[in-house]
Chains A and B, each alone.
Chain A
Amino acid sequence: MKEGADLRNEREFPSGKSGQGVGARLPRKEDDRLMRGRGQYVADIRLAGLHDVAFVRSPLAHARIRGIHVPERHRGSVFTAADLVGIKPIRAVSGLPGFKISEQPVLATGKVRQVGELVAMCLAPTRAEAEDIAASVTLDLEELPAITDMLKAREPGSALVHEHWGDNVFLETNYEVDISAALDAPIKVTREISTARQCMSPLEGRGVVATFDRRLDQLTLHSAAQMPHITRSGLAECLDMEEGQIRVISPDVGGGFGHKGILLPEEVCLSWLTMQRGHPVRWIEDRREHLVASSNCREHHYKITLYADSDGTLRGIDCEATVDSGAYSSYPFSACLEAAQVASILPGPYKMPAYRCRTFSVATNKCPILPYRGVARTGVCFALELMLDLVAAEAGLEPGEVRLRNLVLPEQMPFDNITRKHFDSGDYPEAMRRALAAIDIDSIRARQREGEADGRRIGVGISIYCEQAAHGTSVYAGWGIPMVPGHEQASARLTPDGGLELRVGVHSHGQGLETTLAQVAHEMLGIDVAKIRIILGDTAMTPYSTGTWGSRSMVMAGGAVATACRELGERARRIGAKLLQHDPAAVVLQNGEVRGVNGSVSLKAIAHTWYRRPQDLPADVDPGGLEVTQGYKPVRDSGTFSYAAHAALVAVDPDLGEVEILDYVIVEDGGVLVNPLVVDGQIYGGLAQGIGTALYEEMPFDASGQPLATTLADYLLPGPTEVPAARLDHMETPSPYTQFGVKGIGEGGAIAPPAAIANAVNDALRPLGVELMQSPITPHRVVAAVLAARAADRSAA
């Protein structure tokens, strides 16, 4: 289980076996406040003179604004686009050729293009009063035909979201490697597969408290945000301010998942408002706003063909993928990240000689689609893994066998797949074999032959994926979006009493970085993790960073912390050598002290001398001091590839359509794990979200573009009783390119479950002639499919 342990060496892992360094199963430091309800979230911030904002939002999906009527008594408390002089719309432009630009006005101008779009901002001493004002504002709207079906939206003659485009396609891409070579394959399977539109649902929604400090000439925006530095850049662009005039503080954040990486029109509105009014203003998203007007994700459609030889060897994939991108391109990831990513990641860890993928990012009258944990990978994994089960059925093979025949082999590492994704390391077949053994595929097959006493049918499903993480400059430069990650910085400062302060530009909203980054620093310096403070979530306090997204923080900020601590240790070592009156070459830093043959001096004593008793330092001491900022990039920045094989055992009731997960196994390889306990937590949380995608979560729209799941009574999230106690197994294949060999694993848990669960349901129902190719798998969809199969059976007979 602990391959990584063999790979430890003193240079890379100087802490030895202190129990606090890299690899330690340390409980999270931040849980002391978070688990006691003492976290400080945006909604906990109280500022003198704080006023609340409620928004008037569009009740229609698509309409021309003829007028906005504000009652006389509320003029002065209601603001519309006409008031926002000089404020620019949000523009998230991709440099990919052919991308069509959308401009998202922060308050609607001319047209509204989605239900929930901001139309007017209402200010009052309390939120309830602000909502009363909002309710008094009436809109005169001329309803236009709503575009709600992404496939129809692609057809000529469709109504248009952005008239001047001439069509509804943000971006079309084509990728092909010799597809003609696959066409004569004996197995050819074609299906349409789709994943529902979902809403990311962190416990905490978005929220903004804005205030202006006249002394500093600075706007301070408190926002529940994952990427405060990027938020600042976006704000500066929309407000036409210098970045130095803006400080973004992101306090404790209750879950992000991508939703909190996006620049909000609300953030721009409240920034403008506090500068107009001279007092702090606040907007806290409520769950209805969250569901109706924000956080949408995941809506994919695939028309996909797999070609294979009769022994199950893949000959090629041909795919046309469409993503419903919604009305606007969101900042900074743009409207095309999702669809264009499909083309590059669809082949995943499988070998094949031919491939073609055409993608469409389509504008509709829905919320902008945002990148949700796993981004396009969840949809891609769903499409490809469902198709591979069909290839297995055609070839008469176990689904596991088809995977094993096509997965990249460990001896092929590093491996460039057909879309030139560079796999750094790993043993994918071994993960699959372990998952199959753990779920005990053989005894499940025997049990299936016997049948269930309760009339249900059981089925087993597997899936495997790869997760490119912490991909950097070389990958993102090609996208040409407003954000390209470069070297990640970290600052490390030894305090006069021998503690350590670390400043990083990433953020932690559930990932446990206050613990894991402290473990990295402990690994390098030997300082007790209890004496290491992590400072994050504040543009004024931290080095610039693109923030926490793309499973990058442990790789990038972890690497930066290690690099900064190494340099800090080196400086402390040189001072220590002076204090020990040693040649610097003859002393080492070990377990928090500088040691030479004559004795040792602790980092604490070195810090005390440097700050409090500089008179004890020799005149020729290095003046650099005990505070350093260093940057880091992996040896290659094309990303780490973590992966996992998932296996699910389900029981399906064909009459009620209910699906129960009886067993769930995950064999995961995230490279060297800094904290396996934290990794387990990430996987369990991701699994819960994946189960949501598989069985529960769906945001339907009616033909007029009205979202139909506007409360949590209609938008179902899995709860404790819906998430089984999964069994986890870890492999630890180090990345050859990163500090300590770590890989990003933050998103993986959410990627594979929909495919594994759908394959399990289909395995259970295949004898009935049932095939489900759409998520979520609801009771109604199951029963409708069972009835359709029975009807087909009857008409055949």
Chain B
Amino acid sequence: MKPAPFSYERPRDLDAALSMLAANSASAKIIAGGQSLGPMLNLRLVQPELIVDISGLAELKRAEVVGNELVLGALVTHADIEDGRTADVTRGAMRGVAANIAYRAVRNRGTIGGSLSHADPAADWISALAALGARVTLRSLAGARTLAVDAFVLGALESALHPGEIVEAIHVPARAASAHWGYAKSCRKTGEFAHAIGAVLINPAAASARVVIGAIDTTPIVVTDAAELFGGRIAADYKQRFDVRVADALLVGAGIDDAAQRHIHVSVLKRAVLEAAA
């Protein structure tokens, strides 16, 4: 389990990194914390000619509140969030998610931008950030563009990143005072990837909800018009009105034909709803 030969660059600033990526767009891979790419390299599942190590880019380590949203640089680690070293506009929601990602050793090195870029369906951020309504800024030499997280993740290990493009920052909107948050997942054992994730941001006062069913084989199911899941309206009694049959139908629609798998997903989502209501 040794990687195939590759060249290695560690640029000092973002422009240099983008230039390297532009010049080697077909055969370059970006490494930050390396918690996913490292094993993939060693298993020779990826064999890039060039590795661009962005861990020295100070501009991607910033975290600041701008207006009504938190802007997290791509290199912010899970542990940064877990430990409260970054500001929080989600009233603890992100901190709770971060604290349960894999093991502490992974959280120390793994980055939020890397996790999104890798687009593993079982990872936490793609589901949690989709539920929080976060957006992601992508930058290349040609400029920047911003996408909703749920539009960024296209499938298993497949994102909207173009060759030469890099995740620069994640924009997390402030969670309204009236919005309830619930996040649940089921893992075979502590620290393993989840086999079911449920994430909900429910604002009964605004009669709105974002509901995510994650850790399915492909991109998470993101429901932004979630009234049907709650018997047609989102109100203070949403916990009682949660309709497992609608959730099950969503999973059938996503092509999950194994009833036990669907049952676990629905049960986990129900836990997230109960947590939000608690």
Binding site for B on A (CB under 8 A): 127-128, 131-132, 135, 286-288, 655-658, 696, 711, 713, 716, 718-719, 721-722, 778-780, 783-784, 787
CB distance from A652 to the nearest CB of B (A): 13
Q: Nearest residue in A to B184 (C-beta to C-beta)? A: A656
Contact of B191 among A132, A719, A779 (CB under 8 A): A719
Assembly CA distance A722 to B190 (angstroms): 8
From the candidates B5, B189, B190, B264, name the one contacting A655 in the complex (CB within 8 A).
B264
Q: In chain B, what residue has the closest Cβ to A710?
A: B43
Contact A779 B188 (CB under 8 A): yes
Cβ contact within 8 Å between B1 and A132: no
Q: Mark B3-20, 1 if CB is under 8 A from A, else 0.
A: 111000000000000000
Q: Select one of B190, B264, B270 contacting A779, CB under 8 A.
A: B264
A-chain residues with CB within 8 Å of residue B196 when the two chains form the complex: 656
Shortest distance from the beta carbon of A54 to any chain B beta carbon, whole Å: 8
CA distance A779 to B263 in the complex (A): 11
| Contacts known (A132-B4, A716-B192); A656 close to B260, Cβ less than 8 A | no
B62 proximal to A (CB < 8 A): no
Residues of B within 8 A of A718 (CB): 189
CB <8 Å contact, B260 and A132: no
CA gap between A656 and B197 in the complex, in Å:
12
A757 to chain B, nearest CB (A): 14
B259 part of interface (Cβ distance < 8 Å): yes
User: For residues 258 through 278 of chain B, which have their beta carbon under 8 Å from a beta carbon of chain A?
Assistant: 258-261, 263-264, 267-268, 270
Q: Find B1's partner among A288, A656, A696, A722 (CB 8 Å cutoff).
A: A288
With A718-B189, A780-B258 given, name 12 new contacts (CB 8 A). Answer: A132-B4, A132-B5, A135-B44, A288-B43, A655-B263, A655-B267, A656-B268, A713-B192, A716-B188, A779-B186, A779-B195, A787-B260
Residue of A nearest to B271 (CB): A656
CB atoms of B39 and A716 under 8 A apart: no
Are A721 and B189 within 8 A (Cβ)?
A: yes
Query: Shortest CB–CB separation between residue B42 and chain A, in angstroms?
Result: 8
Q: Are B4 and A135 in contact (CB under 8 A)?
A: yes
Query: Residues of B contacting A784 with CB < 8 Å?
Result: 259-260
Give the docked Cα–Cα distance between A127 and B2 (Å).
Answer: 7
User: In the complex the two chains form, what is the Cα distance from A107 to B193 in whole Å?
Assistant: 37
The answer on a CB contact under 8 Å between B189 and A783 is no
Write the chain B residue with the least CB distance to A655.
B267
In the complex, number of A-B residue pairs with CB atoms less than 8 Å apart: 64
| In the complex, chain A residues whose CB is within 8 Å of the CB of B188 | 696, 716, 778-779
Do A787 and B263 contact each other (CB < 8 Å), given the known contacts A132-B4, A716-B192? Answer: yes
Chain B residues within 8 Å of A655, by CB: 263-264, 267, 270
B193 touches A783 (CB 8 A): no
A711: chain B residues at CB < 8 Å are 39, 43
Please state if B4 and A719 are interface contacts (CB–CB under 8 Å). Answer: no
Question: Which residues on the A side are within 8 Å of B2 (C-beta)?
Answer: 127-128, 131
Q: Which of A127, A713, A779 has the most CB of B within 10 A?
A: A779
Bound Cα distance from A131 to B44, whole angstroms = 10
Closest 6 CB pairs of A and B: A128-B2, A655-B267, A784-B260, A721-B190, A783-B260, A286-B1
The 0/1 profile, CB within 8 Å of A marked 1, for residues 27-53 of chain B is 000000000000100011000000000
Q: CA A716 – CA B190 in complex, angstroms? A: 11
Residues of chain A lying within 8 A (CB to CB) of residue B268: 656
Q: Which residues of B contact A713 (CB under 8 A)?
A: 39, 192-193
Chain A to chain B contacts (Cβ below 8 Å), 26 pairs:
A128-B3, A128-B5, A131-B1, A131-B2, A131-B44, A286-B1, A287-B1, A655-B264, A656-B186, A657-B260, A696-B188, A696-B189, A713-B192, A713-B193, A718-B189, A719-B190, A722-B189, A722-B190, A779-B195, A780-B258, A780-B260, A783-B260, A783-B263, A783-B264, A784-B259, A787-B263
- Cα A716 to Cα B270 in complex, Å, equals 26
Question: Which residues of the other chain, B, contact A128 by a CB distance below 8 angstroms?
Answer: 2-3, 5
Whole-angstrom CA separation of A255 from B34 in the bound complex: 29
Instruction: Report the bound CA distance from A784 to B39 in whole Å.
Output: 32
B192 to A, closest residue via Cβ:
A716
Within 8 A of A (CB), among B158-200: 186, 188-193, 195-196
Known: A132-B5, A656-B186. A780 touches B261 (CB 8 A): yes
Residues of A close to B258: CB separation below 8 A? 780
Bound-state Cα–Cα, A657 to B267, Å = 10
A792 to chain B, nearest CB (A): 14
**Assuming the A-B contacts A696-B188, A696-B189, A713-B193, are A657 and B1 also in contact, with contact meaning beta carbons closer than 8 angstroms in the complex?**
no
Residues of B contacting A135 with CB < 8 Å? Answer: 4, 44
For B226-267 the 0/1 string (1 means CB < 8 A from A) is 000000000000000000000000000000001111011001
Q: Which residue of B lies closest to A127 (CB)?
A: B2
Residues of B within 8 A of A127 (CB): 2
Partner of A657 from B191, B264, B270 at Cβ < 8 Å: B264
A286–B43 Cα distance when bound, in Å, is 11
**Which chain A residues border B263 with CB–CB below 8 Å?**
655, 783, 787
Cα-based distance from A713 to B270 in the complex (angstroms): 27
Chain B nearest CB from A291 CB (Å) reads 11
CB-based contact B259/A787 at 8 Å: yes
Greatest chain B CB density within 10 A among A716, A721, A783 is at A783
Shortest B149–chain A CB gap in Å is 24
Instruction: A658 to B188: give the CA distance in the assembly, Å.
Output: 8
Of all chain A residues, the one with the shortest Cβ separation from B193 is A713
CB-CB < 8 A to A787: which residues of B? Answer: 259-260, 263
Return A658 CB to nearest CB of chain B, in Å: 7
Q: Measured between alpha carbons, how far is A784 from B261 in the docked complex, in Å?
A: 8
Most buried by A among B3, B4, B258, B263: B263
